[in-house]
Each structure stands twice: as C-alpha cells, then as structure tokens.
Structure 1
Amino acid sequence: MTLAEQFNIQDYPIVIGIDFGTTYSGCAYSLANSEEVIDIQKWPKQNNNVYPKTPTLNFYQNNTSVMTQWGNAARIIMQRPASRSSVLLKQYKLYLDENIAKDLPPLPNGLSIVDAISDYLRAFHEHAMSELKKAIATSDKSQCRYCLTVPAMWSDKAKGTMREAAIQAGLIQPSDHRDRLMLISEPEAAALYCEKKCEQFNLKHKDRFMICDAGGGTVDLIVFEIDERGGRRLRECIKGHGQSCGSVFLDRRMRKLLKKKFKENLATIPTSAFDTMMDSFVDLIKPQFDGIEEQFLSLPASINIGSINNSSIGLEEGMLCISAAELKQEVFNPVIDEILSLVENQLQKAGSLKAIFLVGGFGSSNYLFKRMQDEFGHAVPLIAVPPRCELAVVRGAVYFGMNPTVVASRVSRCWYGIDTTTLFEDSIDPPEYKLIRSDGSVRCDNRFSVYVNRGQSLDTDYHVSKDYYAYYPHHTICTLYATAAEEAPRYTTSPGVFKVANFDIPMPALTGVVEGEQVGLSIKMYFGEVELRVEAVIRGKTYGTTCTFDPEY
C-alpha cells in the first residue's frame, strides 16, 4: 500500500494529448511553458495525404496474437493475397460500450480488449515520441505527462480498461502517480477547444453552449455554462448523454445498400471489392455529401460481375450512380435522426442555448450540419463547426493537461452508493432481507445507501467520506454500486443496480498496534473527476487504493 503523494506538474514539462478513436486516432502536444498546441501530422505509410490522424487498425499475421503492423501499414498489408488468413482488427473501441459489446463476437486470436488497445497504443506512442524528437530534440518519456480522451457515455469500468491498456502499453509505469495519466471526456476536451477558438462568438458569463461530438463510433453531447467568477471556467449544467451512432454506422448501412444492389452477384464478388467501394464512400462521398447531389462510385476491377451496365441499379459503364434521395433514406437519415433526437432531448433539458458546436470527424459532415441547422436554427442563435473540428478533441486534451482546473464541475450520470443495513419496515421490505441482531434490533439487509444522486452537480474535488474500522492487520474491501434509473433504488438488488467495483484497502504496517486491535479509517470517494478515485485515511495518513471492476459490469 502506498501513500498518496502530491503530484507536481513541473516534473513533466511536456503535455501529450491522445485521442484514441474508433476509426482514426490523433496526437498533439505542448510544452508547459507555451500556449501553442502542435499536432503530429506525419504518420507511417500515409503517402501524400497529410491527414493529422492515422487509422485505428491492428494487423495480426494468421492466428498469432502479436501485432506486426498498425495504422495505414495494417491496411496496406491486408490487401496482399498472402494476408487472406490474417486479421485486420478495426472498430474494436466499440467493445468498451457495454450496450454494443454484448452483441459482438469475441475478439479473434484469443485477444482481450486490453491487449488490442495496448498493442495499438504502444506503436502509436513510439511513433509520436519519434516525431517529438524531431521537433523539440527530445524523446525522454520521463518528461511527459498524458491526457487520454474517452467517450463521456462510457462506464467507469470502460474508463478503467482504457487506463489499464495505457499502462500496459508503457505510456506510464504502474508505480507512477495516477495524475501523470489523466482522462478527459471527449466532449469536454472539445468544449475547451471551442471555448479557446470561438472567442469571436462572444460567449459570456452564464451563457450556455452544447458540444455535439460526433465521431466514428459514438456521439456525445454535453452542455456547459461559462463561469467567469475568479477566472473563466466551464461548468457542466445538465446530465450529458451519448449513444453509439457515429459514422461507422453510416458505413454499415452503406455496405448493406451495396450488397442489396449487387444481390444477384454476391456469390462471385470478393470481399475486397466491397472494401474498395467502401473506401471510396468513406473518403469521397461521406464527408462532402450535402443531401442534394447524386453520388458516383467507380466499380473496382476485381468486382467480377458479368456486365458493367445495369440500369435497374444505376450502373452504367462501370460507374454506379446513387441518388441523393436513396442515400438519405438508406444510409444517412436513420443515423442522423438518432443524433437529432439526442440533441432535441438535451435542448429541452438545457433551456436556452447560445450555441451548438459540431466537432469530431462526423461533425464535419455537410449533411449533418444542414440537418442540424434546419432542425434547431430557429431555437439556437449559433450552430457552428469550428476550424479543424476533427482535431478539437485531441487539442482540447492538451489544453486540459495544461490546466486541469478549467472544468469546474460535472453532472453525475448515475446514482452511486454502497450496501448497508437500515431499520426493517414490515410494510415495505421483503421478509428474506430481515436481520435480527444480538441486541434484538431488526434490520433490513441489502439497502442502497446513496452517496451521489443521478443528475447532481459535482465540483471536481467533490468527495464523500465515511468512517469505518478494521481489525489489524486485515484489509478492508469497499464495494460501490450504481444505477442509471430515474429514481433512487431502495436495494442494491433492485432492477438496474450493478456492482461498479471493489476497492481494496490494504492495512499498512502500524507501529505499536497488535493483531486483532481495532483501527479506525476514513474512506474518501471522489466523484467529480472523470474517473472514480478512492483514498483511505489511516492514522492521519492518506493512502491510494486498488480498484477491481466487476467482470459482469
């Protein structure tokens, strides 16, 4: 058990932001004595396309669990005939959304999600450090601290998995102070970027604005209020919301549409031909589609169909024409309608907004902007896409790393509490929960003792302290429960309540204390940060704890 030491940011003059995305990942950095944020623009095998992100792809040869290529190189090697039995792992970030993961097949080659993410982050980080060395003549990791972005809709367990993968990838050591690696929600990071870049929009004290962070996998919404008391800070003012309805779901619908059009030839068309057409959709059609103009796809030579003309599906001389109406109906509208519904829901709760900012790769979609403007332009004075909106999250992560106190408060998305016993009420509590103690008192077991209310505004240093005792030298385990239900649950066994984690609090070596002696301790749970943090205070000293997330959660 280690003492919880103070973290000194001066020990780490380089701040590195990492946006690990479903489809693309990005990195930016800054020196602590500078306001300038620098994007890493050069990535392996990107050819002449200098895009400041690289694909989130892992390549595993045949059935091995050793990643041999990543990013653009993984995509290139997978196109070789010899790679047909190999694995190109993509969109695996979706495995950290429990709502989707339960319907996904197991990862191939015996890989765990921690393995897949850490394999990628290890190679990604090594490249970032090599680019850093070119720019500022140092690649000394000991000078770096990190800010990693995560979807706001992720569970505490998913965030914990991300931290575990980053440590396994070697970004920091297990023994390092936890604040050397900070997590920030993606829409929060984007809000910091927009707040910096959008001074021309004249947002003032008490003005509210919404971030719609539309990425590859998730769409996260967050509403902030500007607080200019004692410096300009941001306060989350309503419970954020998110859903897995990012641009990869456009891709899935587009692939389905292509298969429907070529249903007569599915037996002979190789998968690689569909992959080539999908690459054209992702690179050319998806970003610039405006809902008005028809779009064209050139058939690859490998498509292996009898005729390059078929008027019934819009095929002429090997060029597939898809009307704007069909693309809207079959591909874009079902996904964008989900986003608009999320925004409408948040808008009703937030009341008056001064602005909505669209960020993320999908956030730059012309058609999404048009639909947002049509739907909400009458109610919100400004709907905007900030410059380089695809970099808003990673740049905002660096801003947060340089000034973690800029986000002043957050809103809890769940009820949090522990299991306790209370006075038994015959008219309410089930008889099987009745406990009769030696002193004759009748108690109810499995009661949910609320620590934090769902929708409660929490300052970032908000914590709950509870006093306990343990018998020396035995350790203590504290179990935390949560639920996203509308009403506070009565029992830890109520529908929708889940065990979040066990916090293991080992007993330190204490002088002058004999075995079996009672030792008082206080457990402090911090709920206002992006991650849960639990500390134990024993005999006036503060200790960190070990968190074990429930495997079923």
Structure 2
Amino acid sequence: MDAYYKLDTLKKEYIQKKIYAEDNKYSRNFKKFKGEYKKIHNIYEPKLREFCKLHTIEEQRPLIVKYFCESFTFESLANRSKNLVKNGAIDRLLSGEFRSQFEYSKSDIEAAGGPAKYKLLNLFYANKHRIMPGYYGQIGFEIISKAAIYKFSHEAYKGSSAQKKTGLSHQQYLTTVIVPEIACWIIAEDQAYSHVPTRLAYLNGKLFKWGAFGIVLKDAKTVSLFKLHLDETKKGLIPELPYGLEIEQAISDYLRSIFEHTCTFLSRRIGKEIDTNKLRFCLPVPDGWTEKARNTMRNAVIRAGIISKEDPEDRLLLVSESEAIALYCETFLVEYNLKPGQNFLICDAGRFNVNVVVYRKTVDNNGKNSLMEEVAGDSVISGYTTLDPHFRNFVSDNVNLFFKNVKPLTDRELDNIVDIFTNDIKPRVCHPSNPHYDKDYIIIPLPERFDETEYDEEDKLFVADSQLHMHPELMLSEIFDPVINQVLSLIDTQLKRIDRKLDAIFLVGEFGQSTYLLHKIKDKFSTEVILICAPHRGEMAVVRGAVLMGLNPQFVKQRIIRRTYGYECSLEFDKSLDPEGLRAVDQNGEVYCNNRFRSYVLKGEIRDVDYYVDISFKCYYSKNPVLKLYAYDGNPDHLPRFTTDDATKKVTEFEIKLPNLPGKGPNDTVVIDAKLYLYQTEIKLEVEIENIKKIYTGSHKKVDNMPFIGEIR
C-alpha cells in the first residue's frame, strides 16, 4: 500500500498549498503560491490516474489481483454505476430493504468515540479497507457520486427509513454510505470468483458454522474437504468424519447452507423473493466419480431440501466437469475460431485433480455446432493444493537438516509458513523467461530459534536472520516441477491415443491459471500443437459451463463409454456352466439361473448421449421387483457370467413400483418394458407397464425380501 499512502501525502500537500494560496489571493506572492500547488497537482494527478487504472502495478498486485478485472476503465465505472442506480440500488438502501455495510444507526455513531466531528469518519474509515483503490479513490468517488446524485435527491432522502435510522445529513449519507456501497457491488461483480472452502463445524453433533470461518470453540469438531470422500480412489487418505457423521449428511449440510445464503443474497439484490420452484440445478461432478458417488450427491441435494424426490428427474442435472468445460470453451472462446472437424484437448488443472480429455467440434443434423468426445479422458490426483504439502515437507526436512540440535518446526509453525507460501509466494511463481520473473531469493520467515547457517554466495538455500532464503530456481525444480511433470505426462498420454493431429490445448482450472504451468506445456508440446492457451478466467470454466449445460444439456452429442454396464437377471439354467447354488425354479416349474450378468453397453464404445437399450421382462404381481445394475471395468471381450464375480461392482438398484392393475392377482405375471439410458452422468430408467410410464434416476433402495427380475424375453 506504499503507493497509496504516497498519493495520499501528495494530495494533502496539494490541498494545504491550494488553501494557503487562496487565503493569500491578494498577496504579491500569490502567483508563487499558486505555482507551488499547481506543480504538486501536475505530479499528483497523473500518478493518481495511473494508480487507479493500472492493475498490473507490482506494489498492488497481492491486493488487487482478486478484485480487479482487466477491462476496468473509468468510462465503464460510470456506466455501471448508473445502471445500478437505475435498477433501484439507492431505492433499496433508502427504504431499509437492504442495509449497507457502511450504514450505522445513531447509537452506533454515538458509541464510536473521539471528538464529535470525527465519530462518523472513524466508523467509515474502519470499513474503508473493504473498497480497493482504483474503484474508490478521488476519481472513482466523483464518478460514482455523479451517477448517484440524480436519483439521490434531498426530497428522496428526507423522511426516508435511512435518514430516520442514521440521522445523517444528505451529503454525509451520500459520501459515507451510497458511494462506497456502490463501489463494493461493482467490485463483487468483478471478482474472478469467491471460493468458499468446503468446511463445516459441528458442536454436539449439530452444524453451527460453514465455509470460511476462523477459530472455533474447543469442543467443536471441524470437517473439511469432505467431498473427497466420494472419490473412491482416495479411500484411506482422508480422515474419518467426526461424530460418526455420514458423508451424505455433511454434503447435505453444506449444500443447504450455501443454497440458503445464495437465495438470501439474490433476494436482496433483485428486491424480491426467489421462487426456487422455478429453478433448475446443475452440479458438475468429476468424470472419475462412480455411480455410487453420483447417487450420494443427488440424495444429498434432496436431503438438503433443494429439490424433492417427486420433482422431474431433469430438475437436477449432474453434469460431467469435462463436458461443462468443453461447452464453456466452445461458447466463450470464439476468438480462437475452431472449425467443425477440428479437435481440442482440455486440461482442467484444478485444486486437487488434473483431468484431460479430447473433444472434436462437429455439426448436428440441424446445422448447429456440437461436440463429441474423441478420446476417453484421464485424470491424476494432483493440482494446485498438492504444491502445499510438497513445500511443507521441503521446508521441514531442510530446516531440520540445518539445525539438528534445535527443536523442529511444530505443526502450527509449519501451517503459518505454508500460509505464506499459498498467499504470497505461489501466485507469483513464473518461468525464468517471463519479464516478471524475480531472480532474488525467496524469503520465508522462521521462528527466532533458527538464527543462521553458514553459507556462501553460490548456495541456493540457507538461513540468515531467522529467514529461509530460497533461490527461485530451487522453488521451480523442487516444488513445482514434480507436480507439473505429472500434468505433462497426462497430456502426452492423450496425444499418443489420437490418430491425427491435435489442433488446440485449452488450460483451465485454478492451477491452470499458473503462467509457469502454461509455459512448461508450451515448451513441451508447441511443436505438435499450434494453439496452446489459458483462456481468460479459465478458473470459472466449470461453473459457467454447468450453467450452459443446464440450458443445453445435449450440446455434447457423443461420449466414450468408460465402463461396461449390465443388469442382474435370471436366465435359462445351463448345467455345464451354471453352479447348482444359483439354480431356481419358478411357479410354473421352469428352471433358471439367478445372478446372471447381462451387458447393455461396453467399455470403449462411442455412444450418443441419449443412447438407450430396450429390455423386457416379466415378474409376478406380488411384490415390487428390483432391477440391479452393475459395472465391469475389465476387458469387454471377456465379460463375467455372474454378478457375484469379484470383478463386477453394483452401481445402483431401482425398485420398480407396480401400479394398480385391476384383475391381477399375486400369481399372475406382469410384463415390464424398460429403457435404460446413460443419462448425463447418471443412469436413468424409463419403465412402462400396461401403458403406465414412470422414470427413475439415481439410487432407489429396495425393501427387504424383494424378488429379482425374472426372465428376459
């Protein structure tokens, strides 16, 4: 903030000299005094404009990188301020419908302390840090004031709820409430995204905090990263949930909290309650999630009260993250002008995982652009946050090596060091060829007991004045490169599977915004791929793509099937192949083999997204039958015969509720016609029984002693 305070000092000096000159207007030295303040003004004004507009200024980068959009101009600030005013921002403040974070009651002002004329200013400046320089400075203040004043008249303010509550004058309310509040709203719009941590705090088994909370009560139990429990590849790597908490409940509590918060925010913003019954919900899920994980997510949404079991199945879409990103790239990256027939690889480098997949741009039967998956995707457990444990272990190991006879770094001390790495060091790391590359040593503060090590000028790692000095080359080779090499290997594997040239690589996700990662990918693949880029605001690709998927769920026309799917059924008994233990005889004396595995789509096949298979079976009209679905990840040329095979995994089961059929008795058979869809990322079942249709999606748990599905016709 040094630049800001220097400007503030210049401004104060300018005002003092201007007032002094005006007070001595008739003095023979007036021209001299006027020249002095004009000289300062000529220095101050350009610096102020540069400071307010230049978002890449290094002194401010740590603070403004989260708040400023690259396209910010004072012209756009004026237009956006006017739009907010026209849309009722001031009306909602004056009516009390929305309370500003800068608005204080009369009692608040009286309790602020200090001389009377400074009470209000003390309160205002206590909150001024919420507004970043650039939007709010001398120029921004004047722009927003002009936009607000035509709507904020003396007549509008007089007698309003805001005036009665605060007791402020018209000018005071304008300068200390309306202007900074509008500035904050515009800042919020320009924030790249607000990442809400997946954290919950429970006290006595009940949720009492969620998201970005700080220190909690000693008796409270915190839960974080619980979504990772749904990734079956991470079993054993994630701590168990406290209080015997189920993963579905934790996710449900989190979704409910963020949903209620979002509805409240939107209601305040648009000035009326949100009719949630008219909303469709799209949740992007990792491509590698199993059906069990997806079913858990759907059940958690229902449990949170966001949707109900009776809602149409497409009110909640669980969409593939890679498909959402592909749609985002196709929709927003028009400047790259990919033509039908060209293909592109998406590298989604996120916080915990890196996923890569190749899509080809096509044209559907209606002449509209669409996408098809060309190569099945790959993923690796790696990402932006995996850099943190690398750095933590590196610091711990080397400090212990330097100071063998000193108490090692504690967990809390290491946590503080990693925080510095995460917030200050990691975002600045770039390739040596980058003009912003800093050759100076990276300095990491250590506790005072680690004073100094012997070193010379050639050392790339040493301790001096209780600070760990680390050469940037060491940061790249020891911390970043091991993680980035995994990404490069993943991309290389995809390229080897393509039988033709790749046209483009799009790098998205939070880690995908790393300029160093982008440079490394270009270094390795630029001779094979013409276009390699990290689209602007690529960290928003999944979220924005999910919204687009909600509007157009079938933009991606074809997928590569990642598993073989089948269902459990009873088929004719074969003495030479079927064990006696699975033999069953029905009421008509016909002999069947239970637990047979019948496939309906094979791993590696390319299928339309609306692909389905017709099946027909019969059962007795006594109890609701259950259709059990299984997956097989092995060679599709050698399918298992039975669902009891260790290689098969049950993915879901549907209890098919038999309708009321007059004249049917328990010993009568019912013919059930069904369509099994590979619906979005879930499996959908459409059942028809004597012209009565019903749709099932996700997990439908059976009750005890339900019969298996009978004969396949």
Tell me whether the two structures share a fold, i.e. TM-score over 0.5: yes
Residue aligned with 1:239, SS = strand
**Cα shift at 1:91:** 2.1
Residue aligned with 2:699, SS = strand
The aligned residue for residue 534 of structure 1 is 685
- Show the 5 A alignment for 1:337-416: 337-351=485-499, 352-416=501-565
Please list the CA deviations of residues 379-424 of structure 1 after superposition, one character each: whole Å capped at 9, or x if unmatched: 1111111110111111111111112121212221100112354674
- Show the 5 A alignment for 1:29-178: 50=191, 52-61=193-202, 64-72=204-212, 74=213, 76-78=214-216, 83=217, 86-138=220-272, 139-178=274-313
Matched AA of 1:277 = I
Distance 2:286 2:454 in 1: 44
| 52-61 vs 528-537, which moves further | 52-61
**Cα shift at 1:204:** 0.9
**Cα shift at 1:445:** 6.2
**Cα shift at 1:222:** 2.0
Specify whether residues 220 and 406 from structure 1 end up closer, same or farther in structure 2 by C-alpha distance, changes over 3 A only: same
Distance 1:469 1:445 in 2: 14
Residue aligned with 2:604, SS = coil
- Normalised by the length of structure 1, the TM-score is 0.82
Specify whether residues 436 and 148 from structure 1 end up closer, same or farther in structure 2 by C-alpha distance, changes over 3 A only: closer
Specify whether residues 316 and 358 from structure 1 end up closer, same or farther in structure 2 by C-alpha distance, changes over 3 A only: same
Kept in 2, the 8 Å contact 1:280–1:297? The answer is no
Specify whether residues 436 and 114 from structure 1 end up closer, same or farther in structure 2 by C-alpha distance, changes over 3 A only: closer
Distance 2:526 2:452 in 1: 43
Kept in 2, the 8 Å contact 1:521–1:538? The answer is yes
Specify whether residues 528 and 141 from structure 1 end up closer, same or farther in structure 2 by C-alpha distance, changes over 3 A only: closer
The aligned residue for residue 416 of structure 2 is 276
Distance 1:210 1:442 in 2: 52
Specify whether residues 122 and 220 from structure 1 end up closer, same or farther in structure 2 by C-alpha distance, changes over 3 A only: same
Matching of residue 255 in structure 1 with residue 392 in structure 2: yes
The aligned residue for residue 215 of structure 1 is 350
Distance 2:672 2:560 in 1: 28
The aligned residue for residue 144 of structure 2 is none
Alignment match of 1:481 (pick from 630, 635, 640): 630
The aligned residue for residue 12 of structure 1 is none
Distance 1:154 1:91 in 2: 16
Alignment match of 2:483 (pick from 317, 335, 358): 335
Matching of residue 512 in structure 1 with residue 653 in structure 2: no
**Cα shift at 1:367:** 2.0
**Cα shift at 1:433:** 7.5
Matched AA of 1:96 = L
**Cα shift at 1:548:** 4.5
Specify whether residues 235 and 117 from structure 1 end up closer, same or farther in structure 2 by C-alpha distance, changes over 3 A only: same
Gaps of 5+ in 2: 1-100, 102-126, 133-190, 433-437, 456-460, 703-713
Residue aligned with 1:184, SS = strand
Kept in 2, the 8 Å contact 1:236–1:411? The answer is yes
Kept in 1, the 8 Å contact 2:568–2:627? The answer is no
The aligned residue for residue 457 of structure 1 is 606
Specify whether residues 549 and 92 from structure 1 end up closer, same or farther in structure 2 by C-alpha distance, changes over 3 A only: farther
Structure with the greater relative contact order (CA < 8 A, sep ≥ 6): 1 or 2?
Answer: 1
Kept in 2, the 8 Å contact 1:238–1:455? The answer is no
Matched AA of 1:547 = S
Distance 2:259 2:362 in 1: 35
Matched AA of 2:233 = N
Distance 1:120 1:364 in 2: 27
Matching of residue 309 in structure 1 with residue 443 in structure 2: no
Distance 2:687 2:584 in 1: 31
Specify whether residues 180 and 431 from structure 1 end up closer, same or farther in structure 2 by C-alpha distance, changes over 3 A only: closer
Distance 1:182 1:224 in 2: 21
Matched AA of 1:77 = I
- Normalised by the length of structure 2, the TM-score is 0.64
**Cα shift at 1:471:** 1.2
Distance 1:517 1:151 in 2: 45
The aligned residue for residue 239 of structure 1 is 376
**Cα shift at 1:51:** 5.0
Specify whether residues 495 and 471 from structure 1 end up closer, same or farther in structure 2 by C-alpha distance, changes over 3 A only: closer
Please list the CA deviations of residues 495-517 of structure 1 after superposition, one character each: whole Å capped at 9, or x if unmatched: 53211122211212222322321
Distance 2:276 2:578 in 1: 57
Please list the CA deviations of residues 37-93 of structure 1 after superposition, one character each: whole Å capped at 9, or x if unmatched: xxxxxxx999668552223232425x5332322222x2x235xxxx45543422222
Specify whether residues 307 and 344 from structure 1 end up closer, same or farther in structure 2 by C-alpha distance, changes over 3 A only: closer
| 125-134 vs 415-424, which moves further | 415-424
Specify whether residues 53 and 311 from structure 1 end up closer, same or farther in structure 2 by C-alpha distance, changes over 3 A only: farther
Kept in 1, the 8 Å contact 2:573–2:583? The answer is no
Please list the CA deviations of residues 491-550 of structure 1 after superposition, one character each: whole Å capped at 9, or x if unmatched: 334453211122211212222322321110012211152111112111112113372489
Distance 1:47 1:472 in 2: 67
Matched AA of 2:389 = R
Which structure shows the higher strand fraction? 1
Specify whether residues 291 and 265 from structure 1 end up closer, same or farther in structure 2 by C-alpha distance, changes over 3 A only: farther
Kept in 2, the 8 Å contact 1:54–1:71? The answer is no
Residue aligned with 2:603, SS = coil
Which structure shows the higher helix fraction? 2
Q: Which has the larger radius of gyration?
A: 2
Residue aligned with 1:217, SS = coil
Distance 1:273 1:48 in 2: 31
Kept in 2, the 8 Å contact 1:224–1:236? The answer is yes
- Show the 5 A alignment for 1:429-448: 429=577, 447-448=596-597
Aligned length: 496
Matched AA of 1:314 = F
Matching of residue 547 in structure 1 with residue 699 in structure 2: yes
Distance 2:644 2:250 in 1: 34
Specify whether residues 444 and 260 from structure 1 end up closer, same or farther in structure 2 by C-alpha distance, changes over 3 A only: same
Distance 1:109 1:433 in 2: 42
Residue aligned with 1:417, SS = strand
Kept in 1, the 8 Å contact 2:319–2:546? The answer is yes
The aligned residue for residue 15 of structure 1 is none
Matched AA of 1:127 = H
Matched AA of 2:640 = R
Specify whether residues 91 and 325 from structure 1 end up closer, same or farther in structure 2 by C-alpha distance, changes over 3 A only: farther
Over aligned residues, Cα RMSD in angstroms?
3.1
Specify whether residues 366 and 172 from structure 1 end up closer, same or farther in structure 2 by C-alpha distance, changes over 3 A only: same
Residue aligned with 2:280, SS = strand
Gaps of 5+ in 1: 1-43
Specify whether residues 364 and 105 from structure 1 end up closer, same or farther in structure 2 by C-alpha distance, changes over 3 A only: same
